[in-house]
């Protein structure tokens, strides 16, 4: 996770954006007298939102944990998916 102040971001925006995209990680931007902001790839934000949704109910979170435990214990079956 990188940190940069707003002046540096503005001066080298393309470089910082390229780094965020390449590293798939967030960049914290600080501004004087303002709350820090975060820049991250859209796909990462969407993944976080999906995870929050999947874990939003206790029942669903427990189902996911059981499934993970089953796979970790050697359960599950590999399947080949064919593009339509």
> What are the domain boundaries of the chain?
2-40, 43-72
Q: Tell the residue number behind the tokens 């080298």, with chain if given.
A: 12
Domain 2-40: CATH superfamily is: YefM-like domain (3.40.1620.10)
Q: How many CB atoms lie within 10 A of CB 65?
A: 11
Looking at residue 26, its pLDDT comes to 96
Contact 60, 71 (CB under 8 A): no
pLDDT tens per residue, range 23-33 = 999 999 999 99
Measured distance CA(73)–CA(69) in Å, rounded: 6
Tens of pLDDT, residues 13-72 = 999 999 999 999 999 999 999 999 999 999 999 999 999 999 999 999 999 999 999 999
Q: What is the pLDDT of residue 1?
A: 78
pTM, entire model: 0.69
């Amino acid at each position: 996770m990188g940190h940069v102040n707003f002046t540096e971001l503005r001066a080298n925006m393309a470089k910082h954006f390229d780094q965020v995209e390449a590293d798939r990680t967030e960049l914290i931007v600080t501004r004087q007298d303002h709350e820090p902001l975060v820049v991250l790839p859209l796909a990462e934000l969407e993944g976080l939102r999906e995870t929050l949704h999947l874990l939003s109910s206790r029942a669903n979170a427990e189902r996911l944990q059981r499934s993970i435990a089953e796979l970790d214990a050697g359960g599950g079956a590999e399947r080949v998916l064919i593009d339509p």
